Amino acid sequence: MRLAGKVALVTGAASGFGAGIAACLAREGAQVMIADLDGDGAARQAAEIAASHQAAAAGIAADVSADAEVKAMIDATVDRFGGLDILVNNAGVPQRMGPMLEVDEAQFDRIFAVNVKSIYLAAIHGVPALAGRGGGSIVNMASTAALRPRPGLTWYNASKGAVVTMTKSMAVELAPQKIRVNALCPVAGRTPMLKEFMGGEETEEIRQKFLAGIPLGRFSTPEDLGMATVYLASDEASFITGVCLEVDGGRCI
């Protein structure tokens, strides 16, 4: 119960890493708002967390690239639970592995809107709520793609590189308000995005190629990311800010 009394908002939490993060936060005592473009999925995940962990949880539909919807998401969290202490910017979209010149403008814009602009919008509307509680924790989802970029994912790599730089700059600027800002850099996991990172076809040969670059020999899991988020959001990490934590089984060594 390291997060007892805390209110958390996790974006992109109807499935994948976000669902695992939300479940771990709830298990440690946080009240959790689950936001996702899939509102029905967010509601189902909230109900499952509430039942499994006897925790207060709710779901909301939100497009994190749309200003009005991000504001509504933050406002709904504060109205429902009385404040905001932990903001997890997990929502993201992949780039299908392939030549960078074959990514059209619409896809490029979508990658940066969801992976980068969303953090800007969440800060605009979320920082005042965090500051109103005397401080808090922001955890952004970056990627090993920002640190050891793979060919064929150039624009996705770039979007996650922006997340790393934003995290460090936000950490310095928000420190006087007692708001800590950190990021997670996971290696690929068995989430709905994995097939896209593999070029649209998930075969055993391609999986083994990915795993060959991970010294610990497995993909990341939602639980891995969830427990790392719990640590960064907890008082145990009260002197940690501006860190981009590699949750990657040694991939970036």
Task: Provide the CA 163 distance to its chain's centre, in angstroms.
Answer: 11
Q: Contact, 240 vs 37, CB < 8 A? A: no
Is 120 part of the annotated catalytic residue set? no
**How far apart, in Å, are the Cα atoms of 164 and each of 2, 93, 100, 158, 205?**
26, 16, 21, 10, 31
Neighbours of 54 (CB within 10 A): 9
Closest CA to 242 of 160, 175, 153, 156: 175
* φ and ψ of 9, to 5 deg: -125, 125
Out of 17, 81, 112, 156, pick the active-site residue.
156
| Amino acid at site 125 | H
| Alpha helical stretches, state H, the chain | 16-27, 39-53, 67-81, 105-112, 118-131, 154-174, 194-197, 204-211, 222-233
Q: Which residue numbers are catalytic?
A: 156
